[in-house]
Amino acid sequence: MSLRHLLISIFKVLYFLPMHQGRSIPWTLVAISLLTMLLLILGISGISRGDELATWGEYAPRQTMWMFFAAFAMFGSLFVPYRQLKEWAYPALVATIVLLVAVYFFPPRNGARRWISLGFMFLQPSELAKVAYILAISRYLMFRENHRTFLGLVVPFLMTCLPVLLILREPDLGTSLLFFPVLFAVLFVAGAKFRHLGATLLAGIAVLPLLWSVMSVEQKSRVTTVFLQVDEGEPQTGDGYHLWQSKQMLALGGVWGSSVTGMPLDDPAAYRLPAGRTDFVFCLIGEKWGLPGTLAVLVIFTGFCLSGLQIAAKTRDPFGRLIATGVVAMIGTQALINMAMTVGLAPITGLTLPLLSYGGSSLVTTCLGIGLLANVALRPGYDVAGQPFQFAKSA
């Protein structure tokens, strides 16, 4: 089965499933499926461009193979009613915590302990932890009102800090940064008071020195590079080299990209982009398709997040609403951080661009989250009409 046939099959299932269940078509689900396919296509085009520029490896065929596994993960999380996942939410989080500890017993790869070797593949527990965390925090907050007190925020905060600290020590700064925006989003939707959310935000800022103290030398260097970047003169060295090359690649694409105007330079070194097919695939899309390509990525992600939030607003079930909010916050924040780091607005964190970057664990986890989002859209609390959240009327 080709990539084209796979994408068509995914769309047909997502489109016709609501009619088989006797319900009207949730057009937000159709929008999510279309936007997901567009991102997958753009990702393959960027990875293919990276294969052309690289001197070794062909990642595009492998990414296509991973799409089949991701499709199974998405369909699996789509067909099982999400309400049945309540009983598995806490055990899933505990299991991923165990896996996050287990990575320290495996040999490091590229100086980091992020993967568990399964022989035929490498499992990245931090990716699974994101989905497990969303389910667990949604389960904890769905019928509680104690989070509307400042002390009631302690348990959600601790549920967040444990995986964050384990992931940060791998080290994996990028993935660890995703948990707090997800926490903030689900607390807001669950009805936490603004002053308590503000206090939580200030508490998070207050612990930044502690996080800085446990960060590795490499992580600290990547943060300081953002403030020391130079756009003129000779290419920078060390951590600054990645940022220099990423901005250079975007500049080489120009307005219309090399697919239209050709390559302006014959120097292969100018097109050398470390981790181009993984962390910096956004730059490859910009080099190939120019400004229209990069704008398309921004617009599609924006449409994806708006459609996901509309799904969250339409369901009356608290668990489903919090799941949808958490998935949108996870994917949206990850995309924003990745694109910001490629242009020097954020530290280079090793965070992939959802659905576009090469990587099996990332792609499968993202599609797992999208499957949960579609799951909520198909089962909106037995009533597609939105209504205020249970605790939103409280003062």
Specify if 70 maps to a domain: yes
- Check: CB of residue 327 under 8 Å from CB of residue 335: no
Q: Taking residues 17-45, what's their average pLDDT?
A: 76
Q: Which domain holds residue 206?
A: 3-378
Between 115 and 365, the higher pLDDT residue: 365
- Check: CB of residue 89 under 8 Å from CB of residue 139: yes
Side-chain-side CA neighbours of 116 within 13 Å: the count stands at: 17
Specify if 391 maps to a domain: no
Listing DSSP states for 17-79 in one string gives HHHHTT----HHHHHHHHHHHHHHHHHHHHHHHHHHHSSS--HHHHHHHHHHHHHHHHHHHHH
CA distances from 176 to 161, 261, 355 (A): 9, 40, 19
CA distances from 262 to 253, 255, 256, 273 (A): 9, 12, 9, 18
What's the pLDDT tens digit per position in 161-192? 899 989 988 878 888 889 989 999 999 888 88
Distance CA 350, CA 275 (A): 9
Q: Taking residues 389-393, what's their average pLDDT?
A: 45
Distance CA 117, CA 120 (A): 8
Number of domains in the chain: 1
Specify if 273 maps to a domain: yes
* Peptide bond connecting 171 to the previous residue in cis, omega within 30 degrees of 0: yes
Specify if 395 maps to a domain: no
Specify if 393 maps to a domain: no
Does residue 319 surpass a pLDDT of 80? yes
pLDDT of residue 4: 60
What's the pLDDT tens digit per position in 261-289? 888 877 777 788 888 889 999 999 999 99
Does residue 336 surpass a pLDDT of 70? yes
Does residue 26 surpass a pLDDT of 70? no
Specify if 383 maps to a domain: no
Specify if 326 maps to a domain: yes
Specify if 386 maps to a domain: no
Does residue 5 surpass a pLDDT of 80? no
